[in-house]
Amino acid sequence: MSISLNIQKYSHVQLAHQEHPRPYFKSMLWWAGAALMAVGETGNFAAYGFAPITLVAPLGCISVTGSAIISVMFLKENLRASDLLGMTLAFAGTYLLVNFAPNRSQSISARTVQYYFVGWQFLIYVILEILIFCTLLYFHKRKEMKHMVILLTLVALLASLTVISVKAVSGMITFSVTDKMQLTYPIFYIMFIIMIASCIFQVKFLNQATKLYGTTTVVPVNHIFFTTSAIIAGIIFYQEFLGAAFLTVFIYIFGCFLSFLGVLLVTRNREKEHLPQSYIDFGNIPGKQMLDKIQPDSNGLSYGTLPDGSDSTKSQSGEKKEV
């Protein structure tokens, strides 16, 4: 994922420096990045069929930190002290997540998904999620509240349904390949529809957030919200921490905290470094007379003064004539 994003970014940079830039979708390099992204998303989809959500979802921090490393190596971006600290924290958090995430190997069949789907834990969770979602949507649409937290919370609530449905669909496809056909059950198509619908509306709200706020602000907050929502969904729907020791859960939460902090440090103020330095065009100051020369000719009589015909210029020239 991080390689594909940086390839696409590099193609945009190349096109921007051309005298007659072409549309980005006509660049072979951009399509190569898009193809790599499709491969990465396919691997991410397949991972949910084999590993717990509580392990797969937090590993998104590797994509963010990996993107920063590739940007430094190939796009010649600056490597800051906060980047090194953030990468160290993210890798330390990832190590704890991998070692203390639940290791339950669970075969996801259609009957298993149906059992979890009608469980009281998930029904209570869905009712609460619908109430929160409708409340936030009311404030967003009716009251026109565009705060980033509202938009990204809507994304996170949809993301919890996405990861549940993605794991169900991926798990049932895997079970069909390795054991018995599961694609004839209605629950497979219900989960497939939930997966597509939730992804579409996630993209909609996420695009609104990126238009209103900077990418370096949206990306880390969205990663934290998405990961937290996905972990809660995995714990409630698939009961992934069932029977886990308290120390294991505590170290896992601490690993999540380290990875979140690392992502925040890596993405902090990254866009501001690429902004051009502010300057004043003296010829375009509102209410001021435009001047042909900022500094007069050193051999002229008005050297050291502004050539605006002021009294000071005239008095100096008069004194020189008298001398």
From first to last of the 323 residues of the chain, give the pLDDT tens digit: 556 656 666 666 677 777 777 776 677 877 777 777 677 777 777 788 888 898 888 888 887 777 777 767 766 667 788 888 988 999 999 999 989 988 776 788 999 999 999 999 999 999 999 999 999 999 988 888 888 899 999 999 999 999 999 999 999 998 998 888 889 999 999 999 999 999 889 888 887 887 788 666 787 888 899 999 999 999 999 988 888 899 999 999 999 999 999 988 888 766 555 444 444 444 444 455 544 444 444 455 544 455 454 444 444 445 444 54
Query: What pLDDT shows up at residue 51?
Result: 83
Are 30 and 24 spatial neighbours (Cβ–Cβ below 8 Å)?
Answer: yes
Query: Which residue has tokens 């789907």?
Result: 117
Are 280 and 138 spatial neighbours (Cβ–Cβ below 8 Å)?
Answer: no
Residue 18, classified by CB atoms within 10 Å of its CB into exposed (0-12), middle (13-18) or buried (19+), is: exposed
What span, in angstroms and rounded, lies between the C-alpha atoms of 160 and 230?
5
Query: What pLDDT shows up at residue 8?
Result: 61
What span, in angstroms and rounded, lies between the C-alpha atoms of 231 and 155?
15
Query: What pLDDT shows up at residue 198?
Result: 92
What span, in angstroms and rounded, lies between the C-alpha atoms of 125 and 231?
13
Residue 308 DSSP symbol: S
In this structure, which amino acid lies at residue 56?
A: V
